[in-house]
């Protein structure tokens, strides 16, 4: 074990040294990395989710829709990029830190909750949205109104997610928790009554409930079981970019585009609108 | 770097214990099921031979993830089969074991069939000439020698099975891979360390298996 620890430490120090050198040159690199950003000039690469309706979804026709996409497009516009200069890249949860650290993407706008562990690897701008852990139930089911009602109920969440861990350790340890690979599998179970509730961030739930094929079948319970401030991830130490993105977010809220994006993406699903959060990162 | 192991938040050993349990139950089950399949494939009844051949060729070519998710979505959610479990934890575990047995059994069957081919055909003919029935020939003459010839290939299957158990995480069985997903979610600053711990855990499980069974296979091999 000792040998392994030493080996791992050595490997990590090499990685750190590499990233540190990358950061060292960032003051001049940051200004042109967006412009050069690979072979094509004048492109900005932004990491989003590809599989979450309402937030970041790649549609069959190749277009992207969702709240994160709207925010990303607006911020890119403020940074000086037209919509056709944006290249969206899939940022699955486990890879977000590395995508930023390696410079594969300039920004990550992918239901990225700001927390201290992540701040050790990347910097955030924002938050631009505060989601809460909530429950989705069948529209005609009124037996679940608070978290304690979940005990003895069949609950579904995505494997290993923070929401699933919250349920197991805090909210309802006696709930019968089924962990499935995706929200769609949970929704199938919810619809055919083998499950009673689905839990995760209300923004994600609202996005699924607002989908055309699900309209009227499910409702949000409207509990605020946790706070998940979504931030825009960017390279550690890039204060300049952080300030610019924060300014863009402020402008988005003040000129009403933010509210419009919330209404179009989450509107149809009994989602209780909240005012935009205060910017807390950086500045 | 490795503080997360001491935080008391994660039961790494417990998760690997579930992995070991999954492996052991599935290994015993697939050994039995694989032997039955092999017996059917070399047996004299055309219907059973056809069934076993079709089963092996069908099931071993289905991706394991599809098979395991099929057990959960198809058997449990849609058909309501619970295998006697009362909550998702028990049901998930049993469904996963069922899926692993169905899948790994085909590989055991094929390994065993190659072992049967190492037994000189004259022995089986001699046994038949002495008046032994098909089952007696299989049980007393052929299979004991076949098993001794295929310990090494079966060790391969067992190692593959140990690693395949990570697929059970997709239907929510709380084994090592599921804990790894949780830790990746929480420990964004130590991703490589998390991967390292789980990679090491699996090496610790599989390396001794391979070494031990390799030694056994040399000792028990039939000298011809």
In a domain, A183, yes or no: yes
CB A30 within 8 A of CB A238: yes
Chain A: nearest CA to B165, how far in angstroms?
15
Q: Residue A105 sits in which domain range?
A: 34-131+228-269
Å between A121 CA and nearest CA of chain B: 6
End-of-domain residue from the set A220, A240, A258: A220
Q: Are residues A68 and A87 in the same domain?
A: yes
A19 part of contact set with chain B, CB < 8 Å: no
Q: CA-to-CA distance for B61 and A177, rounded, in angstroms?
A: 31
Residues A55 and A189 in one domain: no
On chain B, the residues whose CB falls within 8 A of the CB of A178 are: 88, 92, 172
| Architecture label for domain B3-220 | Orthogonal Bundle (1.10)
Which residues on chain B are in Cβ contact (under 8 Å) with A12? Answer: 1, 192-193
Is there a domain that residue A23 lies in? Answer: no
Same domain membership, residue A110 and residue A238: yes
Q: Which residue of A has its CA nearest to B85?
A: A176
* Domain-wise residue ranges, chain B: 3-220
Same domain, A146 and A126: no
- Domain-embedded: residue A145: yes
Domain annotation covers residue A212? yes
- Whole-angstrom Cα distance, residue B141 to residue B130? 12
Are A87 and A147 in a shared domain? no
Residue A7 falls within a domain, yes or no? no
Both A123 and A232 in one domain: the answer is: yes
pLDDT tens digits in sequence order for chain A, 283 residues long: 555 666 566 555 555 555 544 444 333 333 444 444 444 458 899 999 888 888 888 888 888 988 899 999 999 988 888 888 889 998 888 788 888 988 889 999 988 888 888 888 889 987 888 888 888 888 888 888 877 788 888 888 888 788 888 888 888 888 888 888 888 888 888 888 888 899 988 888 888 888 878 878 888 888 888 888 889 998 888 888 888 898 888 888 888 888 888 888 877 666 666 777 777 776 5
Can you list the pairs that A180-183 forms with residues at least 24 positions away whose Cβ atoms lie under 8 Å?
A180/A156, A180/B72, A180/B170, A180/B171, A180/B172, A181/B69, A181/B170, A182/A51, A182/A158, A183/A52, A183/A158, A183/A208
More confident residue, B50 or A187: B50
Q: What token pair was written down for A166?
A: 């919250």
Tokens linked to B51: 């069934």
Identify all chain B residues contacting A192, using CB atoms and an 8 Å cutoff.
77-78
The ipTM value here is 0.70
Q: Model's pTM, two decimal places?
A: 0.78
Q: How many domains does chain A have?
A: 2
Span between the terminal Cα atoms of chain B, in Å: 55
Contacts of A181 in chain B (CB under 8 A): 69, 170
CATH number for the domain harbouring residue A137: 3.40.190.10
What tokens were used for A33?
Answer: 């990395």
Q: Same domain, yes or no, for A171 and A189?
A: yes
- Nearest CA to CA, how far is A271 from chain B (Å)? 26
> Does A238 share its domain with A114?
yes
């Amino acid at each position: 074990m000792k040998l392994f620890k030493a080996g791992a430490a050595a490997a990590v120090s090499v990685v750190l040294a590499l990233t540190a050198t990358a950061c060292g040159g960032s003051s001049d690199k940051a200004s042109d990395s967006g412009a050069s950003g690979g072979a094509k000039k004048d492109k900005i690469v932004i990491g989003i989710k590809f599989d979450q309706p309402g937030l970041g979804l790649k549609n069959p026709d190749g277009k992207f829709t969702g709240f994160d996409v709207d925010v990303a497009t607006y911020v890119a516009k403020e940074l000086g990029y037209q919509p056709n200069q944006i290249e969206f890249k899939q940022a699955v949860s486990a890879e977000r830190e590395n995508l930023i650290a390696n410079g594969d993407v300039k920004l990550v706008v992918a239901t990225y909750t700001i927390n201290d562990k992540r701040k050790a690897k990347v910097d955030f701008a924002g938050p631009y949205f505060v989601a809460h852990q909530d429950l989705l139930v069948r529209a005609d089911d009124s037996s679940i109104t608070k978290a304690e009602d979940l005990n003895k109920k069949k609950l579904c969440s995505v494997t290993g997610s923070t929401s699933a861990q919250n349920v197991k350790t805090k909210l309802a340890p006696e709930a019968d928790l089924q962990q499935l690979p995706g929200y769609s599998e949970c929704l199938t179970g919810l619809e055919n009554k083998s499950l009673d509730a689905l839990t995760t961030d209300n923004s994600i739930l609202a996005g699924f409930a607002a989908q055309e094929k699900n309209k009227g079948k499910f409702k949000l319970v409207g509990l605020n079981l946790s706070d998940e401030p979504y931030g825009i991830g960017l390279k550690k130490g890039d204060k300049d970019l952080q300030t610019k993105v924060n300014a863009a977010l402020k402008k988005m809220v003040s000129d009403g585009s933010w509210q419009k994006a919330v209404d179009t993406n989450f509107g149809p699903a009994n989602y209780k609108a909240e005012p935009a959060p205060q910017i807390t990162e950086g500045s | 770097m490795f503080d997360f192991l001491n935080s008391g938040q994660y039961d790494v050993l417990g998760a690997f214990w579930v992995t070991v349990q999954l492996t052991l139950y599935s290994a015993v089950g697939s050994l039995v099921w694989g032997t039955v399949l092999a017996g059917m494939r070399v047996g004299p009844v055309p219907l059973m031979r056809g069934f076993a051949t079709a089963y092996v060729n069908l099931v071993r070519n289905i991706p394991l993830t599809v098979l395991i998710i099929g057990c959960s979505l198809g058997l449990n959610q849609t058909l309501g089969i619970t295998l006697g479990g009362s909550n998702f934890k028990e049901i998930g575990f049993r469904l996963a074991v069922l899926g692993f047995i169905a899948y790994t059994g085909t590989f055991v069957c094929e390994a065993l069939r190659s072992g049967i081919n190492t037994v000189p055909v004259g022995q089986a003919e001699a046994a038949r000439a002495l008046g032994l029935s098909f089952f007696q020939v299989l049980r007393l003459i052929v299979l004991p020698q076949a098993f001794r010839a295929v310990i090494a290939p079966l060790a391969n299957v067992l190692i593959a099975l140990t690693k395949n158990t990570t697929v059970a995480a997709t239907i929510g069985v709380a084994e090592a891979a599921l804990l790894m997903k949780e830790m990746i979610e929480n420990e964004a600053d130590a991703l490589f360390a998390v991967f390292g711990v789980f990679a090491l855990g699996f090496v610790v499980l599989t390396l001794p298996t391979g070494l031990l069974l390799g030694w056994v296979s040399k000792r028990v091999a039939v000298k011809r």
